[in-house]
């Protein structure tokens, strides 16, 4: 027994489906989905099944080359030619988890410099804990798939043995 929180792929997928229902029902109609890499890649791609918009990605690294935490996130890939097109657009920024909120705040501040029409955030999970980062006031909507306790979360894409992982998560049962 361990006290980590295991999510199966099906549970994640179904959480994204419900999250997409909330987005679609909210009146917020994004022009583009921006996925934060690499944690946001899988949630964003699933989201696209239910909110069919182009996905752009941004890559960030919170550790330096010696694997020591860096003082601030470092860009691995950023939207360049495309970022100019963000001006006047409605952006839905997607990540897997709102943990300390540091990465989300960093990305939001970067995106806001391009003067989008509107920016909203969608995360699979938000941990109930004090946040070090803050959502800039320009962010109009925050969509959360599921609030979770402040536990170690194990996502299926990080599993070395996926069959074992899925059994731990109770694979085919809805969370």
Residues with a known catalytic role: 99
Residue carrying the six token digits 């890559």: 59
CB of 156 to its own copies, least distance (A): 7
Rounded Cα distance between 172 and 175, Å, is 9
Q: Using the rule CB under 8 A, which residue among 23, 44, 120, 123 binds its own copies?
A: 44
Q: With binding defined as CB under 8 A, does residue 17 bind its own copies?
A: yes
The secondary structure element, H or E, covering residue 92 is: strand 90-98
Asked if residue 35 lies in contact with residue 58, where contact means CB atoms within 8 angstroms, the answer is yes
- Please, which residue, 74 or 109, has the CB nearer to its own copies? 74
Residue carrying the six token digits 């979770």: 148
List, in sequence order, the alpha helices (H) in 39-131. 41-50, 102-112
Rounded Cα distance between 115 and 45, Å, is 25
Beta bridge mates, 160: none
Q: Pick the stretch among 106-114, 126-134, 143-151, 159-167 that binds its own copies (CB under 8 A).
A: 159-167
Q: Is the dihedral of CA 91, 74, 96, 53 positive or negative?
A: positive
Q: With binding defined as CB under 8 A, does residue 22 bind its own copies?
A: no
Q: Using the rule CB under 8 A, which residue among 24, 26, 29, 54 binds its own copies?
A: 54
Q: Using the rule CB under 8 A, which residue among 1, 25, 81, 113 binds its own copies?
A: 81
- Please, which residue, 50 or 135, has the CB nearer to its own copies? 50
Q: Using the rule CB under 8 A, which residue among 14, 31, 110, 118 binds its own copies?
A: 14
Q: Using the rule CB under 8 A, which residue among 22, 31, 59, 144 binds its own copies?
A: 59
CA R_g for the chain: 16
Binding site for its own copies (CB under 8 A): 8-10, 13-14, 17, 35, 37-38, 41-42, 44-46, 48-50, 54-57, 59, 61, 76-82, 156-160, 162-163, 166-167, 171-172, 174
């Amino acid at each position: 027994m361990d006290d980590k929180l295991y999510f199966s792929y099906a549970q994640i997928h179904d959480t994204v489906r419900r999250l997409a229902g909330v987005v679609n029902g909210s009146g917020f109609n994004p022009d583009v989905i921006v996925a934060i890499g690499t944690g946001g890649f899988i949630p964003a791609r699933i989201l696209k099944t239910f909110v069919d918009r182009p996905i752009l990605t941004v890559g960030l690294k919170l550790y330096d080359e010696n694997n020591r935490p860096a003082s601030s996130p470092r860009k691995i890939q950023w939207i360049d030619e495309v970022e100019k097109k963000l001006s006047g657009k409605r952006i839905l920024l997607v990540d897997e988890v709102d943990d300390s909120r540091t990465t989300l705040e960093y990305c939001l501040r970067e995106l806001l410099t391009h003067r989008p029409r509107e920016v909203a955030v969608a995360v699979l999970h938000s941990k109930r804990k004090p946040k070090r980062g803050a959502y800039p006031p320009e962010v109009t909507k925050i969509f959360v798939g599921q609030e979770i306790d402040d536990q170690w979360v194990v996502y299926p894409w990080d599993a070395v043995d996926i069959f074992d992982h899925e059994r731990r998560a109770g694979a085919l049962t809805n969370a």
